Amino acid sequence: MKPELSVVIPVYNEEAGLATLFARLYPALDALQMPYEIIFVNDGSRDNSALILSDQFRARPDVTRVVLFNGNYGQHMAILAGFQATRGNVVVTLDADLQNPPEEIGNLLAKMKEGYDYVGSIRRERQDSAWRTYASRAMNRLREKITRIKMTDQGNMLRAYGRNVIDLVNRCNEVNTFIPALAYTFARRPTEIVVEHEERAAGESKYSLYSLIRLNFDLVTGFSLVPLQFFSMLGIGLSFASAALFVVLLARRFLFGAEVQGVFTLFAIAFFLMGVILFGIGIVGEYVGRIYQQVRGRPRYVIQALLEESTNGAVQNEPTKVKV
């Protein structure tokens, strides 16, 4: 029977919490009383996550499928691989750390039945550290102004997507992307609901400060040219300001003769302008780097194996697949 619901869960070094995830996820989905499938994507875990997922597949092969990467390609590549494997009319993404309760999936589906094709989620009370909460809110506001993509809580991966959105996402071949934002651009009727948020069941967060910065760079540069346009306007403004400063200094030279009191001020201005130039070069480098990664044409991820039950009930382990 074709599933109506597909749940995609990326997994990376989550062996400590997988048993708890299984204990809550399957009963929550069984309670929905609808055909479903769960697609776990092992993103090159270095612990025993792949083995645990394989055992779970053997325990529930009727609703479980496992995609095994040959290396670590990142959370969003894992989700994209899961999207490619989905068969349901509605696809839900869920993190494996149980910070988003699986019991909330029913609320997402209820909202989808109202005619929406994209349902995001907003954490009611975030259980993250204070600095991470404030940094996330600040980046949310900045991102919305730059990209015009309205996501109240961009860091929350508990989301539901209609089949029409998933099919369009699967047609994209971007090397770097931010899936919730990409899906938002394709959705006809997006909305958001408030969901509960819990502390991580086990293990540690896989996102460091650098990873979060990189993620936001991908989000901004992948969906807007505003940073480049901003520096173009800034360059024009600084050029006019420099010309005005030159006229003022030239006039003072003729009126008051040679002056040395303003040397340190000029040094400060010069260092400031050099900082602006270097920052602008960095912004340009982000866009150039994205182009470079795209034109190389290397695979976005490599699937080592796909564990799924074939139509005759036999266990199927497909050979290596490469996704460009």
Instruction: Based on the fold, state whether residues 218 and 242 are members of the same structural domain.
Output: no
Instruction: Based on the fold, state whether residues 203 and 144 are members of the same structural domain.
Output: yes
Instruction: Based on the fold, state whether residues 121 and 177 are members of the same structural domain.
Output: yes
* Number of domains observed in the structure of the chain: 2
Instruction: Based on the fold, state whether residues 13 and 75 are members of the same structural domain.
Output: yes
Instruction: Based on the fold, state whether residues 200 and 244 are members of the same structural domain.
Output: no
Query: Is a pLDDT exceeding 80 seen at residue 105?
Result: yes
pLDDT in tens, 56-85: 999 999 999 999 999 999 888 999 999 999
Instruction: Based on the fold, state whether residues 94 and 217 are members of the same structural domain.
Output: yes
Could you please report the per-residue DSSP string of 15-75?
Answer: HHHHHHHHHHHHHHHHTT-S-EEEEEEE---SSSHHHHHHHHHHHSTTTEEEEEESS---H
309: how many CB neighbours lie within 10 A of its CB? 17
Instruction: Based on the fold, state whether residues 170 and 23 are members of the same structural domain.
Output: yes
Instruction: Based on the fold, state whether residues 307 and 159 are members of the same structural domain.
Output: yes
What is the Cα–Cα distance from 162 to 169, expressed in whole angstroms?
A: 11
Whole-angstrom distance between the N-terminal and C-terminal Cα of the chain? Answer: 30
Q: Which positions ≥6 away from 199 have C-beta within 8 Å?
A: 99, 127
Q: Output the pLDDT for position 259.
A: 60
63: how many CB neighbours lie within 10 A of its CB? 17
Instruction: Based on the fold, state whether residues 213 and 233 are members of the same structural domain.
Output: no
What is the Cα–Cα distance from 151 to 174, expressed in whole angstroms?
A: 21
Low-confidence winner among 9-23, 76-90, 229-243, 262-276 (lowest mean pLDDT): 262-276
Query: Is a pLDDT exceeding 60 seen at residue 315?
Result: no
215: how many CB neighbours lie within 10 A of its CB? 19
Q: Output the pLDDT for position 19.
A: 93
Strands 118-123 and 90-93: what pairing? Answer: unpaired
Instruction: Based on the fold, state whether residues 193 and 275 are members of the same structural domain.
Output: no
pLDDT in tens, 181-237: 889 889 999 999 999 888 766 656 555 666 666 666 777 777 777 777 777 888 888
Instruction: Based on the fold, state whether residues 40 and 129 are members of the same structural domain.
Output: yes
Instruction: Based on the fold, state whether residues 147 and 40 are members of the same structural domain.
Output: yes
What is the Cα–Cα distance from 282 to 286, expressed in whole angstroms?
A: 6
- Which residues span the domain enclosing 284? 226-295
CATH number at residue 214: 3.90.550.10
